[in-house]
Amino acid sequence: MMIRDAVANEFPFIRDQRVHSYEEHAHNIPQEHWQALKQSISSDADLQENVERIVAEIDGSIVGSVALFPAKTDAYKGLVDELDYPEIRMLAVTPHARGKGVAGALISECMRRAKVQGFPAIGLHTADFMKSAMRLYERMGFERLPQYDFEPANDGIIVKAFRLTFE
C-alpha cells in the first residue's frame, strides 16, 4: 500500500469514491441526514487553503482517501468551533479494500503530519451509525469530546467529536 498526496485531476474521482464508500449508511439513517452527509462528503470543502488531501493506493488503484484540515479552520461551516489542532475529515475506504488496514494507514499518516507540524493533538468527528469507524478510532486511542458534538440535520443523530493527544 502506498500513501501519498492526491493530485488535482484525482479530486472528482475521490469525491465520487467517498459517496460510494458511504452509501452503505444511506439505508440506516433518515433520508435528510443521508442527503446532508452526501452533500458534505461530495462538496469542495477539501479545496480550502492548506487542506491536505491524502490517498491510499493498492496495485496502482486509489482505494481510500482522507482530508486533513488545518487547525483553526471552519471544517464544518460554523457547526463547530475552530479547534487548535488539525481535523481528520471525509475518511473513505472502498468496500472491496476494507479490512486491509487502509483506514488505519490513512489515519496514521494524518497523525504523523500533525506531529511533524508540531501539534499536540488531532481530532475528528463521526456518528454512531459508522460502527466500524467508531471501533477503529477507539482502538487507536481517540477520546470523546462531547463539547464539540453537533447535530447537522436536526434529526437526533449526533456527530461526535474525538481527539487523540500525542505523547
pLDDT score, position 46: 86
As a whole number, mean pLDDT of residues 148-163 equals 87
Confidence (pTM) = 0.91
Q: Is the pLDDT of residue 110 over 60?
A: yes
> How is the chain split into domains, by residue range?
2-165
Instruction: Indicate the burial class of 19 (C-beta count within 10 angstroms; 0-12, 13-18, 19 or more).
Output: middle
Q: Is the pLDDT of residue 76 over 60?
A: no
The percent of residues in the chain predicted with pLDDT above 90, rounded, is 68
Q: Which fold has domain 2-165?
A: Aminopeptidase (3.40.630)
pLDDT score, position 44: 82
Backbone angles phi, psi at 147, to 5 degrees: -65, -15
Query: Residues 33-53: pLDDT tens digits?
Result: 898 889 888 888 888 889 999
The percent of residues in the chain predicted with pLDDT above 70, rounded, is 95
How many other CB atoms sit within 10 Å of the CB of residue 158? 14
> Strand, coil or helix: what is 145?
coil
Full DSSP string of 6-51: --GGGHHHHHHHHHHHHGGGTTTS-HHHHHHHHHHHHSSGGGSTT-
pLDDT score, position 139: 94
